[in-house]
C-alpha cells in the first residue's frame, strides 16, 4: 500500500520500515552522517508506532467500558 505525504502510514508499514532501518544500522556499512539520519528516522517511526498503539489501546478500553455498562444494565 503506497502512501502520500498526506496519508498516514499503517502501523504495519511503519514497523516494516523500522525493521529495515534497524537492519541497515546493524549492517554497519553506513557512514556516520547516514547512520545518524537513519537513527533519527527510526526514533520518529518508533514514536509514531507507540502513539498509534496507545490510541488503539484507549479506544479498546472505551469500547470495553461501554460494553460492560450495557451488560450491567441488561442484568438489572
Residue 40: which CATH number? 1.10.287
Domain of 46, in residue numbers: 11-75
Domain count, the chain: 1
Give the cell for residue 46. Answer: 518508533
Question: Which pLDDT band holds residue 14 (cuts at 50, 70, 90)?
Answer: very high
Is residue 28 left, alpha or beta, with left meaning phi > 0 and alpha meaning psi from -120 to 50? left
Q: So what's the pLDDT on residue 7?
A: 65
Given a contact cutoff of 8 angstroms between Cβ atoms, the answer to whether 14 and 45 are in contact is: yes
| Residue environment code for 10-46, b if the CB has 16+ CB neighbours within 10 A, otherwise e | eeeebbebbeebeebbeeeeeeeeeeeebeeebeebe
pTM of structure: 0.71
Q: Is residue 19 part of a domain?
A: yes
Q: Is residue 2 part of a domain?
A: no
Q: Could you report the per-residue pLDDT of 35-50, keeping only the tens digit for each?
A: 999 999 999 999 999 9
Q: So what's the pLDDT on residue 23?
A: 96
Amino acid at each position: 500500500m503506497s502512501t502520500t505525504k498526506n496519508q498516514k502510514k499503517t502501523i504495519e508499514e511503519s514497523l516494516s520500515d523500522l525493521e529495515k532501518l534497524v537492519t541497515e544500522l546493524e549492517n554497519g556499512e553506513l557512514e556516520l552522517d547516514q547512520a545518524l539520519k537513519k537513527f533519527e528516522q527510526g526514533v520518529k517511526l518508533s514514536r509514531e508506532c507507540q502513539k498509534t498503539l496507545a490510541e488503539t489501546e484507549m479506544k479498546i478500553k472505551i469500547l470495553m467500558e461501554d460494553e460492560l455498562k450495557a451488560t450491567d444494565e441488561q442484568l438489572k
